[in-house]
Amino acid sequence: MTVETLANGNPAEPRRVLITGTAGFIGFHLAKVLLAEGFVVHGYDGMSDYYDVNLKRRRHQMLLQNANFTATEALLEDADRLWAVAELFKPEIIVHLAAQAGVRYSLENPRAYIDSNIVGTFNVMEIARRLGVDHLLMASTSSVYGANEEMPFVETEKADSQLTIYAATKKANESMGHSYAHLWNLPTTVFRFFTVYGPWGRPDLALYKFVDAILDGRPIDIYNHGEMARDFTYVDDLVRGIRLLIDTPPVRPDVPSGIRDGDSLSPVAPFRIVNIGNSDKVRLLDFIDAIEEEVGIKAVRNYMPMQKGDVPATWANASLLAELTGYQPKTNFRDGIRQFVAWYRDYANK
């Protein structure tokens, strides 16, 4: 539990966390974990129609069953509304997860990524600065590694070759976060996610699309003729990593030489980048085989060339996360698929 006891024997006030994107896949799961531990959480979500809003509302309805959860439906671009909400709630911690997601959609509607991911993130950082929060945590993505070919990906390697506007906006968020951490001594942790999947996932994610199509007898599109690999990270593992990082705010180093090897801590700011991944490169075709085994149906496979902006593989080195928190994601993808399929059959009544 997070409710600590003061020296006089009285319980301390529970910590207050503002999470952007609580109607989203990851934000929903993180809010559940924090609420179960006794945090007070306020969610802020724009309820955009990028995918089924009913799924988002179902997530929020579940969270609202807890008296320690409140929510606001508004866009991050609405700076006045965001400030009014934050000023009233007075969070000690902000976890910024809301974003316009999706690599492929960024080819169709790039402006949505500028509005949400650049302008929206700037507004969140301004809130964190004005309130002087104890820790600002922000979501990035493995897509920032772009054309890098040396794997597993390590936080300390250069990442300047993003291949989509989605990835570019996320890399911009990292740079913006570093500047605010330096200028205002704002402890900031940015985590890079690696192919997150699990129950209550987004309909545009591969696992959801594959299971939905296979159960309906529709073909599935397999890009690069299946010659792809991903570091699939189960959502419960991911949010466990975030939860532990909340308690690990970076501290500006006295001297750069004091930063240990492998630590992405900035030499000039209380700022750090952390990979959260399963540290296991899984072939896409093995992933699909496991889905077929779980649903008991063979997929109709439509092999296609590489999608523009996609990369053939991702693979995380998550040793920094383990060093900082003592935790490392470990769910085997077959177990994760089993959990998702069970949820999906119930949710979709299939």
Pick the closest to residue 88 from 124, 131, 123 (CA basis): 131
Pick the closest to residue 268 from 190, 191, 183 (CA basis): 183
How far CA 142 is from CA of 154, 242, 316, in Å, comes to 10, 15, 8
Q: DSSP secondary-structure letter at 220? A: E
Residue 280 and residue 113: Cα distance in Å, rounded? Answer: 29
CB distance 194 to 331 below 8 Å: no
Start-to-end CA distance of the chain, whole Å, equals: 38
How far CA 207 is from CA of 211, 212, 213, 223, 293, in Å, comes to 6, 8, 10, 14, 14
Q: Which residues are catalytic?
A: 166
CB distance 321 to 274 below 8 Å: yes
